[in-house]
Amino acid sequence: MGKQNIFLDFDGTIINTIDAFCSVYNNLYINHPNFKTAEPDLVNEYNLSDECPLVENVEDIFSNSLFFDMCEFINDNTYEVLKELNQKYKIIITSIGTPSNLAYKAKWLEAKLPFINDYILIKNSDCKMDKSIVNMDGGIIIDDMTSNLITSNAETKILFGDIYPWNNEWKGEHCKNWSEIKERLL
């Protein structure tokens, strides 16, 4: 019998998307006359517009190589826990984005998590957060977005990370960090 699949989100689950986005914003807009430093801890909007109001299109940052240069693992032990999980489970990265964003994600994953070989990268021009196109039957989904969890047919659904307005209605299982994921799945 093969390993059970873990369908693992990228943004906000593997990487600290909010920190990277705010860092890029602060670098790109510092000379704008209406610039105010973006504070990651104050973000409450999914599109980060509350802290990064000068960005007209978030894809300008999400599809910028500088964003991926600034991406760091969301927790100090993310890499180690993923390496351990990879021994027991088959990890499949599932992420939604534009073609250029997805290309950068694939390169980042290849460089930072070379032991994970499977990705399902979903082009969604409307940026509708829904991974129902992926058959996760019998698997585990770990994601920070409620809509991805709700629309999945995974057997086990785990909300990851901090609670925000975009995921606060989730009533199911929740792990705040990779230490809790390790305790739950290993």
pLDDT for 114-131, tens place per residue? 999 999 999 976 666 789
Judge whether residue 186 has pLDDT over 70: yes
**Summary mean pLDDT of the chain:** 96
Sequence length of the chain is: 186
> Mean pLDDT, to the nearest integer, of 171-185?
98
How many of the other CB atoms lie within 10 Å of CB of 38? Answer: 23
pLDDT for 135-153, tens place per residue? 999 999 999 999 999 999 9
Query: For residue 45, what pLDDT is reported?
Result: 95
pLDDT for 63-89, tens place per residue? 999 999 999 999 999 999 999 999 999
pLDDT for 15-41, tens place per residue? 999 999 999 999 999 999 999 999 999
CA atoms of 181 and 186, how far apart (whole Å): 8
Query: Which residues are CB-neighbours of 73 under 8 A, at least 6 positions away?
Result: 14, 15, 16, 79, 112
> Mean pLDDT, to the nearest integer, of 79-107?
96
What pTM did the predictor assign? Answer: 0.96
Domains of the chain by start residue, with CATH: 5-16+73-185 (3.40.50.1000), 17-70 (no CATH)
Q: Among 81, 77, 64, which Cα is nearest to 25's? A: 64
